[in-house]
Chains A and B, each alone.
Chain A
Amino acid sequence: MRSTSRGSALKKEKSKKYRFFQISRILSQILFFSLFLYLLFFTRFTGEDTIGRVEIFFHFDPLLGLTTAIASRTIYSAFWLSLITLGLTFLFGRVFCGWVCPLGSVHQFFSFLFKKSRLLKPKKLGQRGLSLKYFILLLVLITALLAVDLVGYLDPFSFLYRSFIAAILPWLAQINHILLSFVYQIKLLRLGDYWNQFLASLALNPIFQQGFFLGLLFLLALCLNLFRERFWCRLLCPLGALLALIGRWNFLGLKIKTDKCIDCHLCSLQCETQANPYPQEQWNRSECVYCFTCGSICPTAAIDFNFRLKSQSAPAINLSRRHLVFTSLLAIISTPFFKITPAKRRSSPRLIRPPGSLPEPQFLQKCIKCGECMKVCPTNGLQPALSEAGPEGIWTPIFNFKIGYCEYYCSLCSQVCPTGAIKELTIEEKINVRLGTAWVDKSRCLPYVLGSPCIVCEEHCPTSPKAIKLVRTETKRPDGSILTPLAPIIDLDQCIGCGICENKCPVVDQPAIFVTSVGESRSATNRFLLELLHKSSGE
């Protein structure tokens, strides 16, 4: 086989070696995607106060490490793991994109489906469009320099986790709900019970505001694969751009054996990215994700990769100076727009952050909107913000106490935050953190309005002594008679703003007791009592 020369009859035989590499790569993608799912499903309370490093995937992402470090001017040590990714990329190019990245695998899988179903017909595209991702990277880095952290919107890990947590898993929960209702309707009780217990043990959070919208965005990202294979990885991914820059001079080179090549262009057509293996001089090592599709499909086994310590550079990226200047200016000019928000002037009452959150400016510089805290929250109370935190805070976590509350003895959200936007807390530290303050709406509260007993908020108040005291209060009834029921009064010293009172209030639509952010421990300004300030600074 090796002796076949161009003159003799060409032996059509694909390379077994590269077929093996290709299958290994697919297995690796399946493995890492399964790992992603495994860690995601175990991002829940499993009986212990502490949770393992279920967020570890994020720490292999050098882009997140870099941008949060730049934006917050602090280095988060957990990101040392991303040095491994950088080292691998420096040596072997974008193997991370091709073999590890779970979002890349999702895109690859859908590209494969679209190609098989002929919805996507591969075309030879040269370098067209490839530079877009570099501009996105530049935009993210420059805004980070100006202390606005936008990386979470397009970073592949943030995007994938957020989409799964706020849309895909709730979708799964809804499907299960539909099926389970059916199973119980047709009286398959044993199956239903078993299924329900299993589902309950997974503790999927089924409700997310904007879940529909975030799901649509994910669907849109998948549909991009109809236009080009791995559209996201080629054109949009800022992490891909960063790794492409690092891997420009990597040592894993492509070699086409000219004596075997029949100039069929199949390799360039089927290339997962736009690395253009053929002709060899145009092969772009910073676009190649080393999926080894080309090596595997080449009908004459003409393609070979080898590791040589003589580094060669990828072709120059076509970034015109005009575009670079334009992007930089766009970043610089647009950053101030993110600051036009009333949240800067005065704290938003509904901006209630998870326990352990840094003060708002630092929080925004670190939060990557990945949704890990929302996944682990045992009550489903943490939700992606829309307008509450201003434009930089879209999809950052806030509490919606109508959906769930902050569980007193739980600090899991602070443990899973990949960037330290939520500072890790022990249970002892957590129960002293104040998220906000509860207030009674006496115009809606039943004892104040009807004179009838209720006490539900007091019963649920988790602090000891309770922050809600029941005091006999005169209530005038509609007929003019006066009753003296026990009515809730907030002990402002004790309240930690956990929101269970609001969550459990029987006045369901707009609870008669509600929590606002004022008094939150993390803020020195969002206060109403001087004593509270002294109290927390004294601690």
Chain B
Amino acid sequence: MKRRDFLTGLAIGTLFLNQSPWLKSQGSSLADIAWVEGDDPAAITKKAIELLGGMKRFISRGERVIIKPNIGWDRTPELAACTNPEVVRALVEMCFEAGAKEVIVTDNSTNAPQRCFPRSGIEAAAKAAGAKVLLPNPYRLKKTAIKGVWLKEWEVFTDFLEADKIINVPIAKHHSLSRLTLGMKNWLGALGGPRNQLHQRLDEAMVDLAAFFRPVLTVMDAYRILLRNGPQGGRLSDVKLQKMVVAGIDPVAVDSLTTTFFDLKPEDLAYLPMAKERGLGEINFERLRLEKRKI
């Protein structure tokens, strides 16, 4: 290698590293994880992202962004089975403000998607903000190497593989097998195939999937949380108005922090320590720079 090439490479590499969110946060005063409470789901979402340094920290001009909310169930927002539509709307708006070329919102619903998308309110909210809302498209499924410890390959919607950036927007809910369904469980909605067989080793599957899908940002909708009868609830009495949004760059930390809303510890969920062991993130979220606000 010529010296000139080496120097050019070094310069490009430095420039590139300089742009990466992880390094950007090192040595700056930006938060790693933000936790905002307030009455307006859109406002607390925006505040949380602002505390992390704004959407520009994650999204660059001209990028194609995919936002993955939970649109799994034929339930209206007040039943807290799907992500709050206002949270999704706020994120779409911020992505466009940061210069995103295209924002896709999609999920592989469990109930009939033609019902889940409109009834969750997400279709209308995301479309109003200018996003492309895609019903799950079976022709875009591709057998993909997950390269996990347990999950070697599975069918994944290629939208997730082709996007420049992925934002995970789960909702915090009770789940009888994994105890809570949070951000890592949300990746099942990016898959096709016989997903119901993943439940036989759900914790392992979730960790493998979290290692495969690396979101640039995880935004936990805890505006309404589902305390029991998860993951779809069905009664208002199953729902607690928590009025919070947690956003962070470390997906494990966001999930870990959210466990506290259910009076649990991260260690109570088998998959969070597993994820930490795999080096996917921190369960001791207090070690990270945490910003907490109430608006």
Q: Please report A residues at the B interface, Cβ cutoff 8 Å.
A: 44-45, 47, 180-181, 184, 192-193, 196-197, 200-201, 203, 378-379, 407-410, 446, 452-456, 458-460, 462-466, 470, 486, 504-506, 508
Q: Is the CB of A196 within 8 A of B199?
A: no
Contacts A459-B232, A464-B229, A465-B229 known; 15 new A-B pairs at CB < 8 A: A45-B112, A196-B139, A201-B135, A407-B112, A407-B115, A409-B115, A452-B201, A454-B200, A455-B177, A464-B235, A465-B228, A486-B176, A506-B194, A506-B196, A506-B199
A463 contact set on B, CB distance < 8 A: 234
Contact partners of A47 in chain B: CB under 8 A: 118-119
A455 to B196, CA, bound (A): 9
Contacting pair A459 B118 (CB below 8 A):
no
Partner of A508, one of B75, B118, B194, B238: B194
CB-CB under 8 A from B110, the residues of chain A are 460, 504
Instruction: State how many angstroms separate the Cβ of B153 from the closest Cβ of chain A.
Output: 18
Residues of B within 8 A of A45 (CB): 112, 114-115, 118
Q: Across chains A and B, which 9 residue pairs bring their CB atoms closest together, nearest first? A: A464-B234, A47-B118, A378-B112, A464-B235, A200-B135, A506-B196, A456-B196, A464-B229, A455-B177
Least CB distance from A118 to B in Å reads 43
Q: Which residue of A lies closest to B139 (CB)?
A: A184
Q: Report the nearest A residue to B158, measured CB to CB.
A: A189
Tell me if B202 counts as interface (CB < 8 A to partner A): yes
Verify B74–A409 contact, CB threshold 8 A: yes
Q: List 22 A-B contacts (CB under 8 A).
A: A45-B115, A45-B118, A181-B139, A184-B139, A192-B139, A200-B114, A201-B135, A378-B114, A407-B112, A408-B74, A409-B119, A410-B74, A446-B200, A452-B200, A453-B199, A459-B199, A460-B232, A464-B229, A464-B238, A465-B228, A506-B196, A506-B199
Contact residues of B between 174 and 223, Cβ < 8 Å to A: 175-177, 194, 196-197, 199-202
Residue among A45, A184, A193, A464 with the highest chain B CB neighbour number at 10 A = A464
Q: Fill in one digit per residue for B238-269: 1 if any A CB lies within 8 Å of its CB, else 0.
A: 10000000000000000000000000000000
In the assembled complex, the Cα of A181 lies from the Cα of B115 at a distance in Å of 25
Taken together as a complex, chains A and B put the C-alpha atoms of A458 and B229 apart, in Å, by 9
Chain A residues with CB below 8 A from B74, complex form: 407-410
B260: min CB distance to chain A, Å: 24
A residues near B200, Cβ cutoff 8 Å: 446, 452-454, 506
The bracket for how many chain B residues form the interface is 20 to 34
Q: In the complex the two chains form, is A453's CB within 8 Å of B202's CB?
A: yes
B118 — nearest CB in chain A belongs to which residue? A47
Q: Is B8 an interface residue (CB 8 A)?
A: no
- Report chain B residues within 8 Å CB of A486: 176-177
> Per a CB cutoff under 8 Å, which of B111, B115, B176 touches A458?
B176
Known contacts A458-B176, A508-B194: does B234 contact A200 (CB below 8 Å)? no
Contact at B196–A193, with CB atoms within 8 Å? no
The chain A residue with its CB closest to the CB of B135 is: A200
Distance in angstroms between the alpha carbons of A452 and B203 in the assembled complex: 13
Closest CB in chain A relative to B51 CB, distance in Å = 34
Residues of B within 8 A of A452 (CB): 200-201
Q: Which residue of A lies closest to B202 (CB)?
A: A453
Instruction: Check A462 against B234 for contact (C-beta < 8 Å).
Output: yes
Q: Is the CB of A409 within 8 A of B199?
A: no
**B231 lies within 8 A of chain A by Cβ:** yes
Contacts of B118 in A (CB 8 A): 45, 47
Provided the pairs A408-B74, A459-B175, A486-B176 are in contact, do residues A180 and B196 lie with their beta carbons within 8 angstroms? Answer: no
Known: A456-B196, A486-B177. A379 touches B112 (CB 8 A): yes
Is residue B20 within 8 Å, beta carbon to beta carbon, of the partner chain? Answer: no
Hey, what's the 0/1 contact readout for B130-149 against A, CB within 8 Å counting as 1?
00001101011000000000
Contact A506 B114 (CB under 8 A): no
Closest-by-CB residue of B relative to A408 is: B74
Q: A465–B235 Cα gap in the complex (Å)?
A: 8
Judge whether B114 and A459 touch: CB under 8 Å: no
Determine whether the beta carbon of A409 is less than 8 Å from that of B114: no
Known: A201-B114, A452-B200. Contact between A408 and B234, CB under 8 A?
yes
| A197 near B135: Cβ-Cβ < 8 Å | yes
Minimal beta-carbon separation of B36 from chain A (angstroms): 29
CA distance A466 to B139 in the complex (A): 34
Bound-state Cα–Cα, A464 to B194, Å: 26
Mark each residue of chain B from 95 to 118: 1 if its CB lies under 8 Å from any CB of chain A, else 0: 000000000000000111111001
Verify if B233 is at the interface (C-beta below 8 Å from A).
yes
Out of B115, B140, B177, name the residue touching A459 (CB < 8 Å). B177
Residues of A within 8 A of B111 (CB): 407
Contact A470 B137 (CB under 8 A): no
CA gap between A504 and B113 in the complex, in Å? 15
**CB within 8 Å for A466 and B229 given contacts A407-B111, A409-B75:** yes
Assembled-state Cα–Cα distance A13/B44 (Å): 80
A456 to B197 CA separation, bound complex (whole angstroms): 9
**Are A505's CB and B176's CB within 8 A?**
no
Residues of B within 8 A of A504 (CB): 110, 196
Residue of A nearest to B112 (CB): A378
With contact pairs A446-B200, A459-B177 given, residues A180 and B229 touching in the complex (Cβ less than 8 Å): no
- Nearest CB in chain B to that of A185: its residue: B139
Contact yes or no, A470 B176, CB < 8 A: yes
Residues in A with CB closer than 8 Å to B175 are 459
A504 and B279 CA atoms in complex are apart in Å by 33
Rounded to whole Å, the gap between the CB of A466 and the closest CB of chain B is: 6
Q: Are A203 and B199 in contact (CB under 8 A)?
A: no
Return the chain A residue nearest B238 by Cβ.
Answer: A464
Q: CA–CA, A187 to B114, complex, Å?
A: 26
Residues of B contacting A200 in the complex (Cβ-Cβ under 8 angstroms): 113-114, 135, 137
Q: How far is the CA of A486 from the CA of B179 in the complex (A)?
A: 13
**CA distance in complex: A378, B116 (Å):** 11
- Chain A nearest CB: distance from B58 CB in Å? 25
Whole-angstrom distance between the Cβ of A415 and the nearest chain B Cβ: 15
Q: Are A453 and B114 in contact (CB under 8 A)?
A: no
Could you say which of A460, A464, A508 contacts B233, with CB atoms under 8 Å apart? Answer: A464
Contact assessment for A203 and B196 in the assembled complex, using a CB-CB cutoff below 8 Å: no
The residue in chain B whose Cβ has the minimal distance to the Cβ of A454 is B199
